[in-house]
Every structure is written in C-alpha cells, then in structure tokens.
Chain A
Amino acid sequence: MTASNPDGTQDFGVYVHIPFCATRCDYCDFATWTDRQHLQDSYVDACVTDLRRRVEEGLVPLASSVFFGGGTPSLLPPEQLMTILGEIPRTSTAEVTVECNPDSIDRSGLDIYRAHGVNRLSFGVQSFDEQVLAGLGRTHNPANVERVVADARLAGFDNFNLDLIYGTPGESVDQWLATVNSAIALNPPHLSMYALTVEPGTPMGANVRAGALAPDDDDQATKYELADELLTKAKMPWYEISNWAQVGYECRHNLLHWATGDYLAIGCAAHGHRARSRYWNLRTPERYIAAIAAQESPEAGSEVLDLNAQREEEFVLALRTSTGVSARKVDPEVISACVDAGLIDHIASTDRLVLTRRGRLLATEVTVRLLAGNNAGPRYDGVLTAMGKDRPSV
C-alpha cells in the first residue's frame, strides 16, 4: 500500500501536537498537561519557528493533510492556533483537522477555523451517558455535543468526527447502544470508536491496580460487534479497526499512518515518519520550547527499520484497514485456516485478505498467524538503529 495519488504525487501530512488540557481524563496517557497554560504563547511561537525552519530547510512538501491533535487544540484561542496553520504549506485540497473538546469551542471559534482553511473537526465525545462520562473522569455535558455539531454545520463544516469509547467498567450494553444511536442520530460523516484501554501511569491504571474494576475483553467484544452492526446499517462501513465513515469521508491523515506515508512532527511528543525512519520529539513543552529557542533539533529519538521490518510493518498496518493485504505472499494453508476460523475474507477479485468482524477483534492473533505464514523474503531483522533520550510515546 502506498500513499500516492492518481497524479503520482505522494501524500504528506503534518501533525501538530497541542499539549494543553483543562482537566485530565482518568484514562489518558497522552503527553498533555493541565497546569502549563502560561506556556501557551511561547509554545505556539516555538511551533511556528520550528515550522519555518523546516520549510527553509526544504523538508516540507505541500501537505495533503494537517492534523491538530492533543491535548486539546481547541483550548488555544482560535486565532493563535491558526497562526501555526498559516505556516504550513499545503495543497488546495488538503484535509485540515482540529481536535475539539465540545466544552471549549463555540460558534465564533469555529468560524475562525473555517476562515483559515480548517475543513474537518474531531470531537472528543466518548459517551452520551453522564454516568459513563463520570466513570471516565470527563466533565463535559453531553448536551453540548448536539449544540457544537449544529454550530459546526452552521459554520460550514460538512466533515467531522465523533470519538467514542466503549467498555468503561460499569457501562451496560444498553448504555453503549444508546450512545452509538445518539451519535448516529447526529449523522456524523466519521466515527472513531475505541475500546477503553487501561494504561499504566494513569489515574485509571492506578485504580485498577488498587482493585477497581478493569475493562472486560468479552464485554468490549460484544459492544464492538453490536456497534459495527449498527454503523453498517447506517451506511458507515468500517475502514480501519477503530474507524467508520460514510464513503468518501475517511480521514486522509489517518490513512497516511496506515499506509506508512511520511508525516512531519511539530510540537512536543509528536511522532513523525520520514522515508524509513520514525522519530519523536522531546516529550515536555518546556524542553521543546527550549530546544527551538536554542536552535537545536527538537527530535528526541528515532529508529530506522530495515527493509524486511518495514515490509512487515506495512503488512501489519494495512491488515488493520478494510483494504487489507495482498494474499500473494501468504501461505495458502494459513489463509484457508484463517478463513475457516472466520477471521479473514479472501476477496477473489482483488486477491486480498481482509479481516472479518471477528477477525478485527482478534487482529493480533491473525497478524501473528499470517506473518508466520508470510513467505516474503528473509526473516524480520528488526530495528536497524534506535537512539534517543525519550521513549517513543504519543
């Protein structure tokens, strides 16, 4: 799978990380802080400087997608956020997404985004159930979602995503289905639905270690299957394990990740991909700001994969999408065993292997099996070089 366009150009993405939040959600292990608002101005300046420098170095082709993630990008004054966007050279059709908290964005802010070329919004909804939201340590009022979606439409956004989380301990299947139906009722072009994952080092991780109820795989599997059924009926087919969209509204920036395309990392803790190298920036906003001020590279580490590892990674990522992987290099016996087990479909017309609903939930097992039966070249050799002071993280 490649990220090339019909005209032969390669897609290129820019990811900008905004590490500020009003409050921290209990499950979140992202690089974000609730007490660093005083850094906002210098942080935005640093992002701008970083971008200018990279553009001057000639390392930034025209972006086909830009993604402001976080953190909570909508926590920044919209004009300030847009000064960063103003520095990013991009194609006329580029997809530009801003992640928003329904509580921290209003109609005027959305108008400013729109005026500067933002054409896609992603709302962190997680659930429409107040009890479930409380269980996640989220504060927003579900009624705000309806309001902000209406405002977005009025501001001219026809493309937006809602993020949902399923499988919070204590969430009933009915509560989850009500959330999915509430989301569908808003007719979103795009939905991301994530199984709640307990990460170490989060308040939720500490609670679970102390004996609090943990998410249950079987419960999450049931909820995934039911939601997938509802969305298929609502004409929003899956296109990646955790992503559903109306046809034509698949997120271009995300597709770039799964096609191992190149993307530039701007901001602290951001990850980038350049040819065969993955790299990541310094984790804290302070160190990022300091590095930019000192005219040093903000990159904290990188790893270069050899060709086999790279191919394997392409295979693994592509298998997560509805495009699937080529069947050509996979042992036919392994294919038929996986087909018989209801894990994959073998699409005859394209000779590709695509995960079934059951297979998506068991994607790790399927991946390991297919790789074991993958005859492509010599064995995986792994990372060629890895360096850096920070461990990779989002």
Chain B
Amino acid sequence: MNAQPRFRNFAIVAHIDHGKSTLADRLLELCGAVEARDMRAQYLDSMDIERERGITIKAQNVRLKWRDHILHLIDTPGHVDFGYEVSRSLAACEGALLLVDASQGIEAQTLANCFSALEANLTIVAVLNKIDLPAAEPEKRAAEIEKVLGIPADEILRISAKTGEGVAELLDVIVERVPPPTGDPDAPLQALIFDSSYDPYRGVVSSLRVFNGTLTSGSSLRYINASALHEAEEVGVRSPSPSPVAALGPGEVGYLIAGIKAVGEAKVGETVTNAANPGVALAGYEDPKPMVFCGLYPVDGDEYVELRESLAKLRLNDSSFTYEPETSGALGFGFRCGFLGLLHMEIVRERLEREYNLSLVATAPNVEYRAYLISGESEVVDNPSALPSPNQIERIEEPFVDVTALTPSEYVGAVMELAQQRRGEQTRMEYISEERVELVYTIPLAEIVSDFFDQLKSRTRGYASLDYEPAGYRVANLAKVDILLNSVAVDAFSTIVHRDKAYDYGRKMTEKLSELIPRQLFDVPIQAAIGGRIIARQTVKARRKDVIAKCYGGDVSRKRKLLERQKEGKKRMKQIGRVEVPQEAFVAALTLDS
C-alpha cells in the first residue's frame, strides 16, 4: 500500500444550523475554487429544498487546492434518515471535521455521526464555530466534547465560518492531522460510489472514491453488487465545476458517467472495478430498507398517470424509496410508498409537488408490522388496512428504535415524560456537562413517526436534539382501528395503534369526520372499531332540506347555475357504500391530522 501524500479526504459532520454550508462556502473561497463574483450562499446545496430548509440531502464533493495539497471535501447529509448514505460518505474519507456551534453545543445526530466516523477509524478534527457570537461559550462546549468523545479540549479549534476567522488555520490542521489515503495504483480497481444523481442529459452521475487501482476514462467497468458492465464515458473531478480527467488514482475523489439510466443501477455503496481485471467488493454494501410508509394519492384523480410517471422519474434519482400501486375506496388510485424516514417522506412528497407540479394527499405514516398468524404463517404489513382480522392473529411485532436525545438539563423531566407517553424504556441517562444531558430510550418507531420530533422540540423550546437507530422487532399489544362509515370501512383511516391509544384515535377521528362528511338523506353512523367491537361513534344526522324556496322569473337563471354546481359536485363524490363523500372531506380529515 502506497501513501498518496498529496491528498486529504475529509467529511464535515455537523448539526443543522451549525454552519456547515457557510464553512464550505468559506473553504471554496479560501482555496480559490470559486471566484468571488460567482459565489453564492450554500454553494454546494443545489436543490431548492436544500437551500430553503438548510439541509443537505445529496452528498456533494469538491476538490480543493490548499498550498501543496489536494483536499477532497465530501459534504454528507446529516439527517438520521440518511444514516446509510452518511456511513458510505465517511467510508470514502480518512478524516471527519466535527463542526459544533459554540453556543449550542454538540447535538444528538452529530454525536451519532461522529461515533460512526470513529468506528470507521476516521481522524476527528473537532471545531467550534460561531465564536464571533456573543452567546458563544467555547470553553464549556469544548469540555462537553472532551467528555462525550474523549477529544482533548485543547485540540479543539475555534473558528468563525462567517467572518473567516481561523479557517486558514483549520485547513492547515486538516493537512497536518488527517492521514493521507493509501492505495496501490497497480492493484485491481476498487472504487466506492457514495452518491449517485440523475441528469436528464447524461444519465447517472456517480460520485466515487478510488481505493485501489486506477479508474480510466473509456475503460470497461464492472459494477460488482449490481453485476453489470458499463463503460466509463467520462471521469472527472469537481472543483467545484466538473472537469473531465483522464484517470483517477488511489485516494482520489471524483465523478463517473457510465451511460446508466437510473440511480438504482449505481447505488450508494456499490463497488466499481475493471471488467478485465476485477477486484473484490468493498465491505459495507447494503440495500437500505424503507422504514416508514404512507399512501400517496393525487388530490385530483385525473392526475394519477402523472403521479405514476413522476414517481418513476424521481426514482431515477432516488432509489431508496419504493412505490407500488394501491387503490383506496376513499382516495381512489394511488401508491403505497416506503421511505427511509419521515424527513425522506416529506422530501419526496415535496419534490413531487414542486418539481412535477402535483397536488397530493398522504395518508398518515405508518411502520412495517409483522403479523404472526395462528395458522403458523406470518405476514409483513406496510398498510394498516391489510392487517388480517384479530381472530387470525397470534401476535404482532413492531419495529423499535434506540433513541438518543440531548437536552439542556432543565428539560430532562419534559423529555422523560414524552418518552414514557410514547411507550419508551429508558436505557441510559448521562450528564455530559452540568447543563446538558444525554438520554437514551428504546421506543417503538411508530411513536417516533407520528409527531414525536415536533413534541420534543416544543417541550424543550427547540433545544433538544434527537437521533435514533433500529433496535429490532418486538411483540407489542397492538390493535387495528377501522373507521366505518355507515358500517363500511374507509381504508384510508385504518391505523394500527397500541391498544391503550385505540380509543383516543377512534374518538378523534370519528369526531373529525362527523364535522367533514356532508349530511346524507339518512342518518350516517361514523364508528371506530377494533375487529367487530365498536369503540367510538358519532352520527351525521340526515339532511332534511336543500330546496330553494323561491323560483320565479329572476330566480330561474340563478337556480340553473346552482344546479350545475350541484351536478358537478355530484360527479366528484366518492361512494363509500351508500354514502356520498366529496374527496375534499377525506383530504381535509387527513391533512388536519397531526
């Protein structure tokens, strides 16, 4: 193994709003990668959603020249939903820059990602940012970092990405502390894909890191996990604008275009090698499994085909969500979609609405259950309405997660209360400093995907942060609650909840629907039921009068227009048994839900 002394590869691990994008902007400027006149804020975040939300969804990379060295900065998505992508990005680096806001202190996700970096044997360069702010408390924050991560406080750098203070020194420290990559240029090629995106003109553009061998433009390649052959149409580096190169050697980071039409064929974690002289796959490849599911339906049923086409297009660019057609009596034709997490779900939905101009309604998110039947068979259930009836079920298991929350100590009680309400079991509690506490709970994922995060934020005035990782399946006392309209189940509102919360859900949903469902010509009972047992009931009383009292000369035209509207409205009605419901009522019931 030869060291590649000119190169340094590093990622930035940071919490949202701790200044990662600002620091990236400053690094680009200092290294002369972007002319001042081309500079714009959050240069590396290219999607509108990324800029607006201040989050990074896709991993980015940029090649920087600092004094005599070439630095590869790999910007990773920091969110828990993209844990696998983060791990692959970290696998492409030798160092990680831990960036912490000097007034806020380290946050749960940052901590989790930092542990991942340590597990991957990365050198951590800890940096306190925003030291220019009056609220900055670098000494305290440094002591916390030392306590939780064992990084000596006096090795922690202090910078202001905003003013540029300490950024040049930071670049020198990266060169000094992060080890250069190693690799054998003559060995069989091993290159790790850590991001793939889809370009409508060029197809899939993959970001990768070469570990061994040389990736040469024009060569024949084998994608080991996909067992597919492609040709390297273009190999290049981003600095940050892309420019083709003849080859990438060990330790180098760049991009590859190989005539691939969907990112699903060049997944994150894939190993690329030479077709003629293949190497072995790099460790750590996974196919990330969706954890959160919901039904997505067009508000206007006529947009179904557009939704299907848009999902297909979006999937070219994001292979981590799944979709398959489903039909709902209440919402018509749509898709059951699986996502890595709640944020991922929101992003996909938002991109569909924004980039493909669709108006969508989503059913409440749910997790994947395992139902073990008395017959000895078992079923995986990602749609609550598909759960077999209670008398066939021996037990149901649901996914749990280990949740880590970091909170100021004054909110410990509030966080514990929330976790207990959500069926959490405490596994650890530790004061990382006098004023900040780390709490670890095991909680059913279903409790997290409702409004756990919002509740956590509101109960801690925004100060607590959260991270979680899967902790396997466990048996739980769950029940499916169906909502019946005139004795007919409305599939979109079926849900699986803990038995203790079934009544609450049933009461809330029947009340809400009773306000939204228009009166029919007969009394309509709205019931919540577990199996055959009714647990809540409301009644929409029969409509008795809709007639227009007067109909003389001037009323006739008005009446005709009114009738036209009525006829139009009738066409848009969904028929649930004998009950006619405008789809808007269902949409309202789903969107009011929180």
Q: Which A residues lie at the B interface, using CB under 8 A?
A: 15, 194-195, 197, 217-218, 220-222, 224, 240-242, 254, 257-258, 263, 265, 269-273, 278, 280, 303, 309, 312-313, 316-317, 320, 341, 343, 358, 360-365, 367-368, 371-372, 382, 392-394
Contacts and interface: CB of A to CB of B under 8 A. Distances in A.
Given A368-B563, A368-B566, A221 B553 contact: no
B549 A195 contact: yes
Nearest to A15: B553
Interface string B155-170: 0000000000000000
Nearest to A362: B546
B567 A361 contact: no
Contact of B550 (A15, A194, A273, A280): A194
A368 B549 CA distance: 17
B551 interface: yes
A368 B544 contact: no
Interface in B511-570: 521, 541, 543-560, 562-564, 566-567, 570
Contact of A365 (B521, B541, B560, B564): B521
Contacts of B553: 15, 257, 263, 265, 270-273, 394
Contacts of B541: 218
Nearest to A256: B553
A367 B564 CA distance: 11
Contact of A394 (B547, B549, B555, B567): B555
B549 A197 contact: yes
Given A254-B552, A363-B546, 15 more contacts: A241-B549, A242-B549, A257-B556, A263-B553, A317-B551, A358-B544, A361-B547, A362-B521, A362-B543, A362-B545, A364-B566, A367-B563, A382-B564, A393-B554, A394-B554
Contact of B546 (A269, A364, A382, A394): A364
Interface string B429-472: 00000000000000000000000000000000000000000000
Nearest to B544: A221
A252 to B, nearest CB: 13
22 contacts: A195-B545, A195-B547, A197-B549, A217-B544, A218-B541, A224-B545, A241-B549, A242-B551, A254-B552, A257-B551, A271-B556, A278-B557, A309-B560, A316-B559, A320-B551, A361-B544, A362-B544, A367-B563, A368-B570, A371-B563, A382-B564, A392-B557
B572 to A, nearest CB: 13
Which 8 interchain pairs have the tightest Cβ spacing?
A271-B553, A394-B554, A221-B544, A363-B547, A221-B545, A364-B546, A271-B554, A194-B549
B559 A341 contact: no
Contacts of A316: 559-560, 563
B557 A361 contact: no
Most buried by A among B541, B545, B554, B557: B545
A362 B547 contact: yes
Nearest to A220: B545
A343 B546 CA distance: 13
A394 B559 CA distance: 12
Interface of B: 521, 541, 543-560, 562-564, 566-567, 570
Nearest to A303: B557
Most buried by A among B543, B546, B570: B546
B547 A372 contact: no
Contacts of B562: 364
Contact of B551 (A258, A272, A362, A365): A258
B560 A313 contact: yes
Nearest to B567: A368
Nearest to B564: A382
Given A341-B521, A368-B570, A394-B553, A360 B547 contact: yes
A220 to B, nearest CB: 6
A218 B523 CA distance: 13
Contacts of A258: 551
Nearest to B555: A394
B567 A217 contact: no
Contacts of A303: 557
Given A218-B544, A280-B554, A341-B521, A364 B549 contact: no
A364 B553 CA distance: 18
Contact of B558 (A15, A218, A392): A392
B547 to A, nearest CB: 4
A317 B558 CA distance: 13
Contacts of B543: 217, 362, 365
Contacts of B559: 316
A361 B546 contact: yes
Contacts of A271: 553-554, 556
Contacts of B558: 392
A313 B546 CA distance: 18
Nearest to B546: A364
B573 to A, nearest CB: 11
Contact of A242 (B521, B550, B570): B550
Nearest to B541: A218
A365 B548 CA distance: 11
A241 B560 contact: no
A364 B521 contact: no
B551 A241 contact: yes
A363 B543 CA distance: 12
Contacts of B560: 309, 312-313, 316
A262 B93 CA distance: 88
Nearest to B553: A271
A371 B521 contact: no
Contacts of B547: 195, 241, 360-364
A257 B549 contact: no
A391 to B, nearest CB: 9
A361 B564 contact: no
Contact of A257 (B521, B544, B545, B552): B552
A271 B554 CA distance: 6
B159 to A, nearest CB: 59
A197 B558 CA distance: 14
Given A367-B563, A368-B563, A313 B570 contact: no
A284 to B, nearest CB: 15
